[in-house]
């Protein structure tokens, strides 16, 4: 079959076009910002093919052929979204010379530093962030005080944040300072401000947070503010063996 005629769900099509992640695409559909062949579509299962004209916020979108995968060492003081209504600097300000419309995979807080992935591949973003896919994220969290063994065990076994228990985590002390402790925390969920909320739940405020690993991907020599393209092997690790086209 000519794959231009293949029908796929509208949110998947939008993600393939590099508009946004699948989840964000669903939000755009739900809020009436997407038209197919001139008609607003708010239905989630709506099927489209390359023969259809899809408009997002008035702009016709086309399938991106070239997939882009980038790793950034995010400095503090940058917001992880494509635009900020408050006019703060965004991580995209750090990625110069890339003409494709890329977006961050998941989120790091304004003051969090470290490994952030950006892509225009919705499947990649979905696989990288979906909790069921078990991709681990490793953080160094400096917390005030010294967590007791009981607090560490609670973090490992699950603490309640936003009314729901967190999944089991790996937690170990890597450094003890005068008034603070550096913890290495490995989680595979990506809930909003998860590490800070977990530590707060056991009585320890996070004063510094850095993501040092995403799955098995590490920052290597990337300094804060620097970025590089992922290798084919790195992309495949996240996609679970599926190959992407790497620049």
36 vs 199, which CB is nearer to ligand URA? 199
Task: Please report whether residue 140 would count as binding ligand URA according to CB under 6 A.
Answer: no
User: What whole-number distance in Å separates Cα of residue 245 and Cα of residue 65?
Assistant: 9
Candidates 105, 125, 143, 195; binder of ligand URA (CB under 6 A) is 195
CB of 116 to ligand URA, least distance (A): 9
Structure tokens at 163: 């009314």
Task: Please report whether residue 70 would count as binding ligand URA according to CB under 6 A.
Answer: no
Structure tokens at 9: 């769900």
Point out which span in 4-12, 18-26, 81-89, 194-202 binds ligand URA (CB under 6 A). Answer: 194-202
Task: Please report whether residue 194 would count as binding ligand URA according to CB under 6 A.
Answer: yes
CB of 121 closer than 8 Å to CB of 247? no
Task: Please report whether residue 180 would count as binding ligand URA according to CB under 6 A.
Answer: no
Helix axes 194-201, 149-157, angle to 10 degrees: 140
Classify each residue of 174-208 as buried b or exposed e, where b means 16 or more C-beta atoms within 10 Å of its C-beta.
eeeeeebbbbbbbbbbeeeebbbbbbebbebebee
Candidates 21, 25, 112, 181; binder of ligand URA (CB under 6 A) is 112
CB of 239 to ligand URA, least distance (A): 22
9 vs 193, which CB is nearer to ligand URA? 193
Cα-based distances in Å from 167 to 3, 68, 155, 190: 40, 31, 9, 11
Among candidate residues 247, 220, 216, the one with its CA nearest the CA of residue 232: 247
Candidates 50, 100, 109, 200; binder of ligand URA (CB under 6 A) is 109
Task: Please report whether residue 209 would count as binding ligand URA according to CB under 6 A.
Answer: yes
Kindly name the residue from 65, 84, 109, 111 that is annotated as catalytic.
109
Task: Please report whether residue 200 would count as binding ligand URA according to CB under 6 A.
Answer: no
- Determine the straight-line distance between the first and last CA of the chain, rounded to whole angstroms: 28
The yes-or-no answer on residue 3 being catalytic is: no
CA dihedral sign, ordered 221, 227, 232, 236:
positive
Task: Please report whether residue 25 would count as binding ligand URA according to CB under 6 A.
Answer: no
Binding positions for ligand URA, rule: CB under 6 A? 108-109, 112, 193-196, 209
- Tell me which residues are annotated as active site: 109
């Amino acid at each position: 079959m000519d794959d231009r005629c293949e029908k796929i769900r509208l949110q998947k099509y939008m993600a393939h076009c590099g508009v946004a992640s699948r989840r964000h695409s669903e939000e755009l559909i739900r809020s009436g910002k997407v038209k197919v062949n001139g008609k607003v579509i708010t239905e989630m299962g709506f099927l489209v093919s390359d023969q259809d004209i899809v408009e997002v916020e008035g702009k016709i979108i086309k399938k991106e052929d070239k997939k882009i995968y980038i790793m950034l060492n995010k400095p503090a003081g940058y917001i992880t979204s494509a635009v900020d209504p408050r006019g703060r600097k965004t991580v995209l300000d750090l990625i110069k010379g890339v003409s494709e419309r890329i977006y961050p995979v998941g989120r790091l807080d304004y003051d969090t530093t470290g490994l952030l992935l950006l892509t225009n591949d919705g499947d990649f973003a979905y696989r990288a962030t979906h909790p069921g896919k078990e991709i681990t994220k490793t953080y160094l969290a400096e917390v005030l005080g010294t967590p007791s063994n009981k607090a560490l065990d609670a973090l490992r076994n699950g603490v309640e944040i936003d009314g729901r228990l967190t999944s089991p985590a790996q937690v170990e002390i890597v450094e003890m300072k005068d008034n603070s402790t550096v913890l290495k925390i490995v989680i595979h969920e990506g809930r909003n401000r998860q590490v800070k909320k977990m530590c707060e739940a056991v009585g320890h405020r996070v004063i510094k947070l850095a993501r040092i690993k995403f799955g098995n991907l590490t920052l290597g020599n990337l300094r804060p503010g620097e970025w590089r393209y992922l290798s084919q092997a790195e992309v495949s690790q996240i996609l679970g063996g599926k190959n992407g086209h790497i620049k």
